[in-house]
Structure 1
Amino acid sequence: MILAMKLSLRRQRALEQSGPGLHGPVRVDPRTKALTKRLRPGDIAVIDHLDIDRVAADSLVAARPAAVLNAARSISGRYPNLGPEILVEAGIPLIDDLGPDIMTLPEGRRVRVEDGAVYDGDRLVAEGVTQTASTVADALADAREGLSAQLESFAANTMDYLRRERDLLLDGVGVPDITTSLEGRQVLVVVRGYHYREDLAMLRPYIKEYRPVMIGVDGGADAIMDAGWKPDLIVGDMDSVSDRALTSGAEIVVHAYRDGKAPGLARVERLGVPHVVFPATGTSEDIAMLLADDKGAEVIVAIGTHATLVEFLDKGRAGMASTFLTRLRIGGKFVDAKGVSRLYRRRISNLQVALLVAAGLVALLVALLSTTAGQTVFGLVGAELDDFWSWLTGLFSSPPE
């Protein structure tokens, strides 16, 4: 009986895999950030992500799924978001605007994707639009035409944030006390954003020489540990940082809303790690920089943060206004990681100079020994050294009785 059931299951699976299109198990989560943690190569990612941003797309590409099924529109036209273009260029099929029914698929269920349609066995689950390089290019062109409206909204959000957080931005009111000393030191803020791995690798000589205070913003703490270091501070709402990082001994600063609610506080308390709470509007990377500035950091070097207008808008949320104002607040202290990698040149240490001189002397001695004159000189020097040694040993030898 059991054997017959196994054979029947195998035949059913063979029939599913024999049809046209893509086949694979689905991983379902409305939050792309949470989904990529369990996504494996060959899985089919099912998300509900309006305007896929660049960070989400990079995370999906790194997981190498067989396809991405989006219940929402990957490009709504509000602004030219960068995510869909990244997915399409990576060769990952993107099926768009499938609707809420796609989110009802059970986790791990094998489905078939063909011509923008998703099938669970013979049942049609949902139909969407297959994005290609040309459709993405057309959608981005339309989005750029409406960019002025988003700029006006961004400006309005910026002024609203300035009114609400004026005391924090201007006077540092509300910044919590921490035990980690930042006064007069260089600080490296690591955000798991654009090209953070490459930037962190390029700054390895800088980190080794200057030993900056390392602040991980949520998952940025794991990036620091993956590179072989330990974070001194972890700042964020604790939604994407691992327990390994939270229990590494770093000081924890929990980002809370202005009304006092802190989604990550319960997790930190459950782990039993010491922490302080920082209530502030805006993003966690912003409060990390404001904290470093308020505590007297000499230089604030950033990895994975936002630098261009499109990157500010790419998050598609009002909180990005705080990022713009935070850059103005910390002013001359702020240095982008890419700028540091181009400007920084490692100084030559005393040990390196000594090794270089020693290598030069060895090369000179070898060259002299290869000539007749050099051999004569070394013979005379050897004879003088032998006479000197005989005289020196004679001073300490006992006189004959």
Structure 2
Amino acid sequence: MRRRRPAVWNHGQAMKFASRTRQTPDLPGTSGTARVDRRARALLARLAPGDVAVIDLLDLDRATAQALVDSRVVAVLNASSMISGRYPNLGPQVLADAGVLMVDQLGPTLFTSVKDGEKVRVDGETVHAGEGRVLSGRLLGADRVRELTDDARSGLSHQLESFTHNSTEFLRREQDLLLHGQGVPVPRTKIADRPVVVVVPGRDYVEELAAVRRFVAEQRPVLVGVDRGADAIRSARLRPDIVVVSANAGDDELPEPKTLKSARDVILRVDRGANRNAGERFTKLGVTPLLFESTATTEDAALILADAQHASVIVGVGMHATLDEFLDRQRAGLASTYLTRLKVGPRLVDATAVPTLYSGRVRPRHLLAVVVAGAVALAAAIGTTPVGQEWADALTGQLSDLLDQLQGMFQ
């Protein structure tokens, strides 16, 4: 009987056989690489398309949610509640609109069960991690998010009371700054009696900056970039005059070094009582910032700066101040934003209103068109009078004689 040659002698067949044995049937759900970090800001810098973000954030806000969508994650796993019911936060709706899978209320064991960099599979409310680890949470679809958001509106009264208290405390700390402008640095850029455009990396800020491009080109305003908003100014082929950044910002939140070096002034907002060496990392880049000591947010510091230097008008790009967005911020800066808006209110204009309110300068061609139209109208009016008819007949006769003379010359 003829013996068969062992399969391992034929390497091509052996490789094919091995690959078939490794194949497994497709499992239900959504799979991806887990990226784990309790600090949402640190996690955003490490995310790649197709990842599964693992966070621990109570009441997901809009800004973080939009950053997750921009990172193109396929799912978000939250140890806490996406919507706790305290107020109608906007983050879950952003994820739902983008089609991102959400499972929350997974508990503190989420961070011990899911390891950073390992493959996880999300099937409904169940999360499958390596070595048979299984967790269960609450699946949030679009309908469920809408329902929970509507129910959360009943918690607004408590949030408004807390908001009032925080505003009083902020005013007590910053009354000299808000009322008298004490402590505001004086930049080299001249702001007095000039329009100022403040670009904040908020919702739709790139589109809003493009919408005011005509205003920028014709009015030549002072361009102020806040954090990554300064990069948006450079991306629009413009140069930021002033860049305002926070000493507490992470590297992923700061503008690029080229942007910082291109600005005429760099303002560094530091907390009151902070170390005076907070600007060392900027000095290493060849940038010497002006210190702005305040507990206000970075974008509010930019507004206070423009107002203290007597800007003629302040156009806010990426800034929105609806009640829901105020409450969605979940930070001490809530009072800062509210009181700053009251301070700069007479000068502040939202960028979305500029295309409606601003029609542009009057150009020479516009004046010429008006003159020509007026001359035609005047000629038509005179032509209807007896004197005008006599002038028309005389002009016609002169033109006829001129044509006869020209014709005779050529003949």
| TM-score of the two chains, using structure 2 as the length reference | 0.80
Relative to structure 1, the CA distance from residue 200 to residue 24 in structure 2 (aligned partners, 3 Å threshold; closer, same or farther) is same
Q: Which structure has the larger Rg over C-alpha atoms? A: 2
Q: Distance in 1 between matches of 2:164 and 2:77?
A: 33
One-letter code of the match for 2:204?
H
Relative to structure 1, the CA distance from residue 28 to residue 226 in structure 2 (aligned partners, 3 Å threshold; closer, same or farther) is farther
Alignment equivalent of 2:60, drawn from 52, 59, 71 = 52
Sequence identity percentage: 45
1:38-187 to 2 correspondences below 5 Å: 38-103=46-111, 105-124=114-133, 126-187=135-196
Count of residues in Structure 1 that have an aligned counterpart in Structure 2:
372
Q: What is residue 288 of structure 2 aligned with on the other side?
A: 274
How far residue 137 of structure 1 moved from its aligned partner, in angstroms, is: 2.4
C-alpha contact (below 8 Å) 1:68/1:94 kept by paired residues? yes
Q: Distance in 1 between matches of 2:137 and 2:367?
A: 65
C-alpha contact (below 8 Å) 1:112/1:121 kept by paired residues? no
Name the SS of the counterpart of 2:87 in structure 1: coil
Unaligned runs of 5+ in 1: 359-376, 388-401
1:286 matches 2:273: no
Relative to structure 1, the CA distance from residue 354 to residue 143 in structure 2 (aligned partners, 3 Å threshold; closer, same or farther) is same
Q: What is residue 3 of structure 2 aligned with on the other side?
A: none
One-letter code of the match for 2:351?
A
Unaligned runs of 5+ in 2: 1-11, 373-398
Q: Distance in 1 between matches of 2:309 and 2:185?
A: 10
Q: What is residue 338 of structure 2 aligned with on the other side?
A: 324
How far residue 384 of structure 1 moved from its aligned partner, in angstroms, is: 5.6
How far residue 269 of structure 1 moved from its aligned partner, in angstroms, is: 2.9
One-letter code of the match for 1:287?
A
Relative to structure 1, the CA distance from residue 268 to residue 11 in structure 2 (aligned partners, 3 Å threshold; closer, same or farther) is farther
Q: Distance in 2 between matches of 1:91 and 1:262?
A: 45
Q: What is residue 370 of structure 1 aligned with on the other side?
A: none
Q: Distance in 1 between matches of 2:302 and 2:344?
A: 11
Name the SS of the counterpart of 2:53 in structure 1: strand
Q: What is residue 302 of structure 1 aligned with on the other side?
A: 316
Q: Distance in 2 between matches of 1:9 and 1:304?
A: 55
Q: What is residue 6 of structure 2 aligned with on the other side?
A: none
Q: What is residue 259 of structure 1 aligned with on the other side?
A: 273
One-letter code of the match for 1:82?
L
1:199 matches 2:198: no
Q: Distance in 2 between matches of 1:173 and 1:276?
A: 15
C-alpha contact (below 8 Å) 1:255/1:262 kept by paired residues? no
Q: Distance in 2 between matches of 1:12 and 1:262?
A: 63
C-alpha contact (below 8 Å) 2:224/2:302 kept by paired residues? yes
Name the SS of the counterpart of 2:284 in structure 1: helix
C-alpha contact (below 8 Å) 1:254/1:262 kept by paired residues? no
Name the SS of the counterpart of 2:244 in structure 1: strand
1:333 matches 2:365: no
Q: Could you give the per-residue CA deviations for residues 20-64 of structure 1, whole angstroms, max 9, x where no partner exists?
A: 211112233334344344433322222222211112222222332
| TM-score of the two chains, using structure 1 as the length reference | 0.81
